[in-house]
Structure 1
Amino acid sequence: MTRFITNTGVAIISNRTVRPIIQGVAVAFLAISSVAMVGCSKTIKPDEHKPTKLVQLEQQVNLLEPVFAVTTSAKGNAKDPLSLQVGLNGNQVIVASRDGNVSAYDAQGKNLWQVNVGSEITGGVAVDASHDIAIVSTRDAKIIALDGKTGQVRWQRPTTGTILSPALIHNNRVIVSGNDGLLQGLSLQSGNPVWQFATQVPSISVRGSASPVLLDDSTVLIATADGRLHALNIETGQPLWSRRVGVPSGASEVQRMTDIDGNPVVDNGQLFAISYSGQLVGVDLRSERILFVQDASSLKSLATTNDSVIATTLSGDVKAFNRVTGEPMWENSELRYRQLTNPVLIGNYIAVGDLEGVVHLLSPQTGKIVSRTSTKGALSTLQVQADNLMTQSQSGQVNIWRLSH
């Protein structure tokens, strides 16, 4: 296995073992024009771009009020991309650290329990509050279920590949996506495998993966490294349809990468997905009609508002597109090369984080930055849950903010 680093700072893994694909009802997308990507090779040193310096805001308004902060361990393989998320279990905050510790805190930051799962954590935390269960995945290819109240291990299950994204828990199923292309549906109660679905693994792909997301109450949607979306029945794993989003373009394998590492977004009867190879696609789920295809490249999840879909690009631009026509609405380039997180909608603002731990709030109408808040360490993922903005930095700082009014 060989690792390359692109000029976007993205780790790329070469893996010559390709698993066979289980064919579902395959329906190809329309032919999509793609954007030429920047490649790299073993002998060419990638271009280095300095992060754009932040310009002081004309009228700084403090919009985020801190409500929770703890520091966890950041020990482990710091060079490996890691995107851990915070889990909320009622009034508890459950966090995982890179070195294998999973901890629960009350709203005041008091530690309630802590357990070490014996290996570096690569995927988590997923929480099912109704069953008081938290799911994490480890570098040595294990899925571990913990009791949300005590931290006691309820079950653990070995997998064939490392899980690099949080699981989806729904309808008594734990859905996980491995970096070997194998998707699994496990019993929430026992961890026993219920179904498996194999997807094709490209010879070269970005190290990372999208989390499984709900398409509807009985259907899970999974994005894969070969640029496809797969819809499966959550209970049985029966494939329902497959769509291609990322379209390969270019002469080299690196240029032809089509990874979809950002979670697809399903919102108000529409589906949005974006690929490394440069396609942002909007689909009307009711009519199964493609609404638009726009040029945009990202490895991050998208955000939506009532009238727009927001993306953070590989180069660090924040872009808004009309969610029906795909027409560009605005673009903010003030954060270029700052290795932005996914955008999220919090209240009436769009939030993005960066490599210095700064959270920026933008107007969804204009893209203008209206407020900033800082934490410690580079950010890779933002979450919004129950009106809370949650972050976990690469240095182990966990913060929860609430929008002030």
Structure 2
Amino acid sequence: MTTTIFNTMSSLRYRRITKGITVALLSTALVGVVSCTKGIKPEEHKPTPLVKLAQSVDLLQPVFVTDVGSKGNSKDPLSLQVGYDDGQVIAASRDGKVSAYDAQGKRLWQSDLKSAIMGGVAFDAASDTVIVSTRTAKVVALNASTGQIRWQQPTTGTVLAPALIHNNRVIVSGNDGLLQGLSLQTGSPVWQFATQAPSISVRGSASPVLLDNSTAIIATADGRLHALDVTTGKPLWSRRVGIPSGASEVERMTDVDGAPVIDNSQLFAISYSGQLVGVDLLSEQILFLQDAGSLKSLATTANSVIATTLDGHVRAFNRNTGAPLWDNSELAYRQLTNPVVIGNYVAVGDLEGVVHLLDTSTGKIVSRSNTKGKGALSTLQTQANTLLTQSTTGQVSIWQLKRQ
């Protein structure tokens, strides 16, 4: 039996900001509760040792490796990602430096923000803009060609995920549950939308993504997806993805920290509480609900949706029915990154800086590449046959998939 995704509108508060008027959407009490929330320590498990591959193939060729810096608070829940467009690479370090490189790894510029960077990098080549966010709760825009700071905008909560830059808006999601659309030119708030921040949640957040040219999808810690008009912030629909279960508050956490994936008129999202959902956007019907929990974004192929689960499995499901296709447990508890598809393979990174390539049809590991870094890998990204990685110690690596 299918369910209509748009059958309930969110009752959460929406405000349009007019010049000279300040609108407070979150009470001081709520902000206090959220800001005092401690991180949840997961159950300890030893990482599965790597077993030598019987027939390993060297599939990734390094383009360049650079160190952008690792100073700062190592306990910060960072998952910094690299900005990349047409060969230009922009990376942020934990200690506040933003650096640009050309396709050969030559540094073009570096800007020191003098404050720890918590979320980044969003890079929009069309507007020549780079967006990062700091621990002091500021969103910072830089000129992508020179590194010069264009504007800085204070926010009520720390922004832990890269922004979405579209239609003259910079859309950010704060860890206090407040979503904001800022002016791309000035950084001034144009709209804001408050969600229900739970008293206990995993400290993180998902990057906003585009549903279409005028609509953004934002996943939040209350286990919901919210569709908002990019320009005005008007709420269009809201849908719960994470379903609370269990007796304690910790067991009932429903965070959706992985950015939803929209591909070929289908939407896929996964929650911490263990629900993977597939939606047909044309019919507005749920395709499937499957048991799988993750805090990472998903990957898709023509036939499947792929997740790295909380216990370190890499699992593939039929993208139309949710039926399990394969399950690789060889990397259990190795603190896997999000999966990304590159060529005919799915890549995942782990706590030792190793990139594993799995066959998308079978889930078999066919190749490994070591970044030779000393830290775990955070978010992986791909563009065409290029793979971009960044470690928690600040090592940025660019890889090219070899021709088969």
Using the size of structure 1 for normalisation, the TM-score is: 0.89
Residue 190 of structure 1 and its aligned partner are, at CA, apart by 1.1
Counterpart CA distance in 2 for 1:169 and 1:236 is: 14
| Structure 2 counterpart of 1:399, one-letter code | S
99, 114, 117: which one pairs with 1:118?
Answer: 114
Cα 1:62–1:46, aligned 2, differ >3 Å: closer, same or farther?
closer
How many equivalent residue pairs? 368
Pair 1:197-2:193 in alignment: yes
Match of 2:369 in 1: 373
Instruction: Tell me if 1:213 matches 2:209.
Output: yes
Instruction: For 2:259 and 2:306, locate their aligned partners in 1 and report how far apart those are by CA, in whole Å.
Output: 13
Give the match for residue 24 of structure 2: none
Partners of 1:193 and 1:59 in 2: CA distance: 55
Spell out the pairing of 1:22-171 with structure 2 (5 A cutoff): 22=13, 47-171=43-167
SS of aligned partner of 2:333: coil
Q: Contact 1:89 / 1:148 at 8 angstroms: preserved in 2?
A: no
- What do the CA deviations read for 1:43-91 (whole angstroms, capped 9, x no partner)? x996421100111011111101111211111111101210111112443
**Aligned positions of 1:275-294 closer than 5 A:** 275-294=271-290
Name the amino acid aligned to 2:12: I
Q: CA deviation at 1:22?
A: 1.5
What residue in structure 2 maps to residue 5 of structure 1?
Answer: none
| Residue-by-residue CA offset, 1:343-394 (whole Å, 9 max, x unaligned) | 0000110000000000000001000000000111201210012431100001
Q: Which residue of 2 aligns with 1:14?
A: none
SS at match of 2:239: strand
**Residues 123 and 164, structure 1, Cα contact 8 Å, conserved in 2:** yes
User: Partner letter of residue 316 of structure 2?
Assistant: A
1:392 has 2:404 as partner: no
Identity of aligned residues (%): 74
Gaps of 5+ in 1: 1-19, 25-41
CA distance in 1, matches of 2:79, 2:384: 20
2:183 to 162, 187, 191: 187
Letter in 2 for 1:22: R
Give the Cα separation in 2 of the matches to 1:131 and 1:91: 16
Counterpart of 2:320 (choices 289, 307, 324) is 324
Q: Which moved more, 1:157-166 or 1:107-116?
A: 107-116
Q: Please provide the CA RMSD for this pair.
A: 1.5
CA contact (8 A) 1:320 1:330 kept: yes
Amino acid at match of 1:302: L
Deviations for 1:217-248, whole angstroms, at most 9, x for unmatched residues? Answer: 11000000010000000010000000000000
What is the one-letter code of the residue matched to 2:233? G
Provide the rounded CA distance (Å) in 2 between the counterparts of 1:300 and 1:403.
23
| 1:290-335 C-alpha deviation (Å, 9 max, x unpaired) | 1000000000000000000000000000000000010000000000
Per-residue CA shift, 1:113-135, capped at 9, x if unaligned? Answer: 11111210001111110111101
For the residue of structure 1 that corresponds to 2:89, the secondary structure is strand
Change (3 A) 1:327 1:23: farther
* 2-structure distance, mates of 1:79, 1:194: 33
Query: Partners of 2:105 and 2:264 in 1: how far apart?
Result: 36
CA contact (8 A) 2:14 2:192 kept: no
Amino acid of the structure 1 residue aligned with 2:142? L
Quick one: distance in 1 between partners of 2:43 and 2:314? 21
Instruction: Please tell me whether the aligned partners of residues 98 and 120 of structure 1 are also in contact (alpha carbons under 8 angstroms).
Output: yes
Deviation at 1:154, TM superposition (A): 0.7
Q: Distance in 2 between matches of 1:132 and 1:89?
A: 11
Structure 2 length-normalised TM:
0.89
